[in-house]
């Protein structure tokens, strides 16, 4: 049973290209003067879903069971699949092969390729460090003594980091403009390292949730100030 779940999750990841393709579709179809607004609206929906998802999923799991959550999510994805071809129109114009360029040619046109590579690597490390505890978070919460409403509490703690990142993004962006993005990155890295020490010393699920909420300010700063580079 475990291997079937692993295989299905693998297939789920292979076909999880809806958001990247949505970005490309919006960038190609929306008028240029409204592209930022459209992409920002889509990003808001993605962030909102990542915040509500764990909390809603934990609540539903407590009400109808974990197995039924998969059925519910599959039904919602089916609705999205049906609505997409009927509700979204695309003015598709194939690009001539002569007008396309290879990945190597694209990288050759970038002025500072080393900075781009460094950005890829650091962003990956940030995501790994921020998400590395997610698979064991529920087990750790249970280890702290939380037995009642375990799924709901776990979802709330997972969502806590996203809420703090969202509400602080604009203020952190202004702070980066004043003091410089490089300095803000260093401060955010130091801040996240300290918060992780407190996360490791949490003795209750409430304490863990508070530290996860505070940790979101650091990860939000790291992801936000990496963009202007």
How far does the chain reach from its first CA to its final CA, in angstroms?
A: 45
Cα dihedral sign, 102-105-107-110: negative
Q: What is the DSSP string of 102-144?
A: -HHHHHHT-S-HHHHHHHHHHHHHHHHHHHTTHHHHHHHHHHT
Average pLDDT over residues 151-165: 81
Provide the pLDDT confidence category of residue 229 given band limits of 50, 70 and 90: very low
**Which pLDDT score is estimated for 79?**
92
Q: What is the pTM of this model?
A: 0.67
Provide the pLDDT confidence category of residue 203 given band limits of 50, 70 and 90: confident
**Contact by Cβ (8 Å): 110, 116:** yes
Provide the pLDDT confidence category of residue 40 given band limits of 50, 70 and 90: low
């Amino acid at each position: 049973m475990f291997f079937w779940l692993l295989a299905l999750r693998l297939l789920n990841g292979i076909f999880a290209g809806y958001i990247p393709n949505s970005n490309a579709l919006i960038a190609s179809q929306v008028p240029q003067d409204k592209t930022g607004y459209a992409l920002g609206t889509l990003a808001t929906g993605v962030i909102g879903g990542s915040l509500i998802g764990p909390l809603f999923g934990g609540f539903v799991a407590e009400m109808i069971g974990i197995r039924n959550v998969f059925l519910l999510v599959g039904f919602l994805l089916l609705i999205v699949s049906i609505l997409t071809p009927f509700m979204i129109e695309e003015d598709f114009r194939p690009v001539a092969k002569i007008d396309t360029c290879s990945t190597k040619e694209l990288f050759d046109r970038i002025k500072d390729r080393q900075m781009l590579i460094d950005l890829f690597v650091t962003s990956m490390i940030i995501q790994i460090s921020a998400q590395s505890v997610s698979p064991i978070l529920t087990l750790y919460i249970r280890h702290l003594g939380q037995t009642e409403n375990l799924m709901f509490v776990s979802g709330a703690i997972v969502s806590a980091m996203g809420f703090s990142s969202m509400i602080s993004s604009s203020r952190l962006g202004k702070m980066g403009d004043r003091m410089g993005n490089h300095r803000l990155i260093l401060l955010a890295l130091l801040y996240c390292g300290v918060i992780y020490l407190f996360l490791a010393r949490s003795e209750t699920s409430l304490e863990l949730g508070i530290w996860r909420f505070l940790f979101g300010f650091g990860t939000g700063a790291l992801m936000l100030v990496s963009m202007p580079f």
